Structure formats: structure tokens, C-alpha cells
Structure 1
Amino acid sequence: MSKREIYLVEDSSDFRQLVRGIFTKFLPEYHVRFFQGAQELYQYMVLQSAEQFKGRRPGLIILDLQLNAISGLELLKLVRQTPGNTETEWKNIPIVILSGTSRQEDINRCYQAGANSFFVKPTEFEELHTLLETLCRYWIDYNRLASADIPDPIIAK
């Protein structure tokens, strides 16, 4: 099992509490770090990008699209543009959008900005539990990330 973390960026304290309960009761084998917004995540990314950082690395980032101050879409773009280090290459980390909206325009913009998946937040507890378990199994247990030291094909030319 991977030691990588799941980052969840969500400004609703009620939704964070619901997700925390699901992971605590049903998915305790995964470690989730919760962020209330874009600035909080970005500050942590800066800390984590330091070569001497010894904490867990993210294996998956789950973003709410409708965040206060900085939107999930803007945060997605920022994450994809953040330089990595020998341990964490931000452009390679899977990012899943979990949103209350299902507007095709939003979905398209998220994929254009580098999202790996887009899901509408389930309204039923069991659906949310199933979705979170599926995301974890796929992105953390089965998916393999590219190493941080692979050359960028555009720069390598």
C-alpha cells in the first residue's frame, strides 16, 4: 500500500466533516490531508517542494471547483504550473475535480487545465462513500505515477 497522501481541498466544513467520517470509518487505510482553500494548499505545496521535506507526498488531489477567493479551476492551473523537485512533480499528480456543478463548460475547462477526472458530488451518503473508495482504489492502489525525474519532452527537444 502506498504511503502517499490524498489531498482534499474543500471550503465547506460540513462536507469536509462528512468525508473525514467516511475515511475514518470505511477507508482507514488511506491518509487524507484536508485543506480549506486554495491558499492553504498552495502554502503547503511550497513547503513540500523544499528538498529537505520529509513528510508524505500526495498521490491524489481532490479539488472542489467552487472554492472561495481562488476557484478550483484557478487552483488546478496553479498546481499544474508549480515546479516540482526530485520527489514531487506537481504536473504528474492526478487531480480529480469533485463539484456541485455538471455544466459542460466547467467540465471542459477543467480538462483543458489538466484535470484527470471530473465528478459531480453525490447527494447520497452511500454514493459518496462508493465514489471515494473507487477513487482511492484506482488512483492510489492501482495507478502508477511517473517519476519526478523524467525529462519534460518539450524541454528535452
Structure 2
Amino acid sequence: MSSFESPQILLVEDNASDAELAVRALAKARLSEGVFHVKDGQEALDFLYGKGSYTARNPAVLPAVVLLDIKMPKLNGNDALRRIKADKDLCAIPVIILSSSGEKSDIERCYREGANSYIVKPLAYELFAETMVAIARYWLCFNQPPTCSFL
């Protein structure tokens, strides 16, 4: 995984196995250089704001995309998503929900709270790996982000 100085992807995942599989899939596709992993929503916010363990990180350097699980300890993904999308300095960062839940209510809630995409984690490793690579390629290679905050 990359240093936290210039992440391209902030992976917010409490399940160590899922995080390892995601990073491994991205490494195989040569897309893992800019991946930084945190374990919960609070750690994600600390990372983005350069607080707590991340005070040495420049908060002006933001990831190109956040991959966010919703069911996590401390601060869950929905609360983290709401805070990111409510902040004028962070709201332009695409937030992709990666969840094991395919519940209609979870999907609708995440979109109401500002998620840019919602993806149910595939159970089969090969499909999970393909999904991670497709997400990274789209958001890092094809998506055209705004050049500044639009609020």
C-alpha cells in the first residue's frame, strides 16, 4: 500500500480479509500504488482531515476516490458518508459504497446521503477482483472530476 502522502484510493474496510483481497486484486492489475487502507469511518475522517494518527498528512491532498464499507465499528459508513458529503472541501470526492448488503433500504439510504455508486461485494474471489479493478480503472482513468470545490 502507498504512503498516506498521496493516495489515489482510500479504502475504508473493517474486514481485514476483504481489504487484503482488494489490495491484492489492485496490485495484480498494477493499480495498488496509491491505495491507503483504514479500518473504520472515524479513521477515514481523521485521514481526510489530517487529524489523530494522520496529523503529518497534508489534508489538501485528497484521494481520487473513497471505497467505503457501511457496516463498521466506531463510526459506520453512513455517518462517514454524510460527513464527507456535507463538507465543502470533501464533497467532490467520489464515494463508492462497497457493501455485503444488497438490501434496498441500505442502497436507497446511501444514495440519499450522497453516494456516487453502490456496489454489492461479490462473494467469489475472481468476481470480487474483477470488480475492484473495474472500479479503480473507471474512477482513476476515465472519470473527469471537478478541478475545484463546486459549493
The two structures have a TM-score, normalised by structure 2, of 0.84
Correspondences of 1:32-111 after superposition (within 5 Å): 32-47=35-50, 53=58, 56-84=61-89, 90-111=90-111
The structure-2 alpha-carbon separation of the partners of 1:138 and 1:69, relative to structure 1 and needing over 3 Å to count, comes to same
5+ residue gaps, structure 2, are 1-5
Distance 1:54 1:64 in 2: 22
The two structures have a TM-score, normalised by structure 1, of 0.81
Q: In structure 1, the residue corresponding to 2:64 is in which secondary structure?
A: strand
5+ residue gaps, structure 1, are 85-89, 153-157
Task: Give the number of the structure whose alpha-carbon radius of gyration is greater.
Answer: 1
The structure-2 alpha-carbon separation of the partners of 1:147 and 1:126, relative to structure 1 and needing over 3 Å to count, comes to same
The one-letter amino acid paired with 2:65 is L
Q: CA deviation at 1:149?
A: 4.6
Higher mean Cα deviation, 18-27 or 109-118?
A: 18-27
The structure-2 alpha-carbon separation of the partners of 1:72 and 1:23, relative to structure 1 and needing over 3 Å to count, comes to same
Does the alignment pair 1:22 with 2:25? yes
Q: CA deviation at 1:33?
A: 0.5
Q: Is contact 1:64-1:99 (8 Å) kept?
A: yes
Q: CA RMSD in A?
A: 2.2
Runs of 4 or more, structure 1, over 4 Å off, are: none
Q: CA deviation at 1:29?
A: 5.8
Of all paired residues, the percent bearing the same amino acid is 26
CA-to-partner distance for each residue in 1:129-149, whole Å, 9 max, x for gaps? 111111111111011111225
CA-to-partner distance for each residue in 1:8-58, whole Å, 9 max, x for gaps? 10001111111122122233464100011111111111118x9x9288531
